[in-house]
Amino acid sequence: MKYFIISSGILILVFAIFQGYQAFAFSSTIRQAYKVIKVEKEFEIRYYPSVTIATISSSAKSYKDLGN
């Protein structure tokens, strides 16, 4: 019985830590703004305005050159 209680406690603790991490990771995700154009039964059509998330300046000619 003691083994069961300890095992259950450890599982609950691991689950709580995992859920906390997931909540933190999701809250820091950038959410793109959109406007709903049309709603149907199983889907909706959205308009996403253009956006630049990140840019870099480089003299590289390809992605392979960026790593060197």
pLDDT, tens digit (0-9, with 9 covering 90-100), for 1-46: 888 999 999 999 999 999 988 887 776 677 889 999 999 999 999 9
Residues 6+ apart with CB under 8 A from 66: 58, 60
Distance CA 39, CA 46 (A): 9
Closest CA to 33 of 11, 54, 48: 48
Number of domains in the chain: 1
* Domain of 18, in residue numbers: 2-66
pTM: 0.40
Between 65 and 68, residue with greater pLDDT: 65
21: part of which helix (H) or strand (E)?
helix 2-27
Residues 6+ apart with CB under 8 A from 39: 45
